[in-house]
Amino acid sequence: MKFVRKIYILPLIWLVYSCAQPSLYKSVTKSGSNQIINNEIKEDSAMVAHLQPYQKQVHEIMNEVIGFTEEELKKGFPESKLGNLLADIIYVKAGQYSKTKIDFSLINTGGIRVNLAKGNITVGAIFEIMPFENQIVVLTLDGSQVHELFDYMAKRGGIPVSHARYTIYNSGAEDIFIGENPLDITKNYNLAISDYLADGGDDLLFLKNAKSRIDAGVKVRDAMLEFVREQTAEGKKISAVLEGRVKMK
């Protein structure tokens, strides 16, 4: 029985000792007040003068015309022209920068912030479409992971893809094609995607279990800017079509 008593005494000794020690945390009280920002606040002329040269440079950069489109390219569900265009850009640029054969690509519709207006395309317009610092990465997925991914896209009402197509049915994906061939569960596929999604964003946690990952070394936005400039240099206008990449059943 002496051994049993020692077992219960030790935690009691520790508790008494810890209570006797000075706390590592101290209570601190701070006060503050809210500052209402409205038209009554006077302009700081010195600060305006200081920022003026930088503002001019930013305007010049953002207003540079780098391309032209004859129609407004919109985002939307289940398939959209703007979504198709951006997925295609990620597909092309992922292959170029990673030096890897890409099987298909995608971009989340929520990551496309605004439509591309008809007419001149400026650098600022691209920043408005893609204001994030997302990088392009290439994931190697097995066939079952790819199927899970397409089911996820179907449940989201359709997500833009390139070099792939699928049909949404009963909140799942059917008739999944990668390139010109039906999805083969026994094969591995290289997917071009943003690092935000690859890291589990938008509840894509299973992508963190990809078989391998390559960082392409280019931002999605920079890939868009580069693509538009290249097309313009070749005398081409920016366009996209709806071609049944995502269907509803």
Tens digits of residue pLDDT in 111-154:
999 999 999 999 999 999 999 999 999 999 999 999 999 999 99
**pLDDT confidence of residue 53:** 75
Distance CA 198, CA 200 (A): 5
Domain extent for 192: 59-248
**pLDDT confidence of residue 10:** 45
Which run of H or E residues covers position 91? helix 81-98
For residue 25, name the pLDDT band (cuts at 50, 70, 90): low
Q: Give me the mean pLDDT over the 227-232 stretch.
A: 98
Rounded to 10 deg, the angle between the 220-233 and 81-98 helix axes is 100
178 occurs within a structural domain: yes
Q: Determine the 3-state secondary structure of 58 from DSSP.
A: helix
Task: Report the share of the chain in percent with pLDDT over 70.
Answer: 89
HSE-CB at 135 with a 13 A cutoff on CA atoms is 14
173 occurs within a structural domain: yes
Q: Is the pLDDT of residue 179 over 50?
A: yes
Domain count, the chain: 1
Structure tokens at 52: 């003026």
For residue 35, name the pLDDT band (cuts at 50, 70, 90): confident
Please classify residue 213 by burial: count the beta carbons closer than 10 Å to its beta carbon, then call 0-12 exposed, 13-18 middle and 19+ buried. middle
28 occurs within a structural domain: no
84 occurs within a structural domain: yes
Q: Is the pLDDT of residue 14 over 80?
A: no
**pLDDT confidence of residue 23:** 53
**pLDDT confidence of residue 105:** 98
80 occurs within a structural domain: yes
**pLDDT confidence of residue 16:** 44
HSE-CB at 107 with a 13 A cutoff on CA atoms is 33
Q: Is the pLDDT of residue 30 over 80?
A: no
Q: Who has greater pLDDT, 157 or 58?
A: 157
198 occurs within a structural domain: yes
94 occurs within a structural domain: yes
Q: What CATH number is attached to the domain comprising 76?
A: 3.90.780.10
Distance CA 113, CA 243 (A): 22
Distance CA 11, CA 106 (A): 57
Q: Determine the 3-state secondary structure of 74 from DSSP.
A: coil
8 occurs within a structural domain: no
Q: Tokens 């833009």 appear where?
A: 160
For residue 55, name the pLDDT band (cuts at 50, 70, 90): confident
**Closest Cα to residue 222, out of 139, 109, 136, 161?**
136
The amino acid that residue 225 corresponds to is L
